[in-house]
Amino acid sequence: MFGWAITFLIVALIAAILGFGGVAAFAVDAAKIVFFVAIVLFVISAIVGLIRGRSPRMP
């Protein structure tokens, strides 16, 4: 997911340099949304991982 956020950020930077303000604004907004969704999913998976823990291995 962070890869998508970085992709949108690069698209926004290129669009801003070339003068496409609308495209740049959309790409920045999309990058922000993808980034925050990735952070939320990471936190949820970290909490679930801590709650479940690891089961002991049987030899």
Interatomic CA distance for residues 33 and 25, integer angstroms: 12
Residues 6+ apart with CB under 8 A from 37: 1
Interatomic CA distance for residues 36 and 29, integer angstroms: 11
- For residue 59, pLDDT beyond 70: no
Confidence at residue 58, expressed as pLDDT on a 0 to 100 scale: 65
Supply the pTM of this predicted model: 0.64
Within the chain, how many helices (H) and strands (E) appear? 2, 0
**H or E segment to which residue 30 belongs:** helix 21-52
The domains of the chain are located at 2-52
| Average pLDDT value for residue range 1-30 | 82
Predicted confidence (pLDDT) per residue in 34-53, tens digit:
889 988 988 998 888 888 87
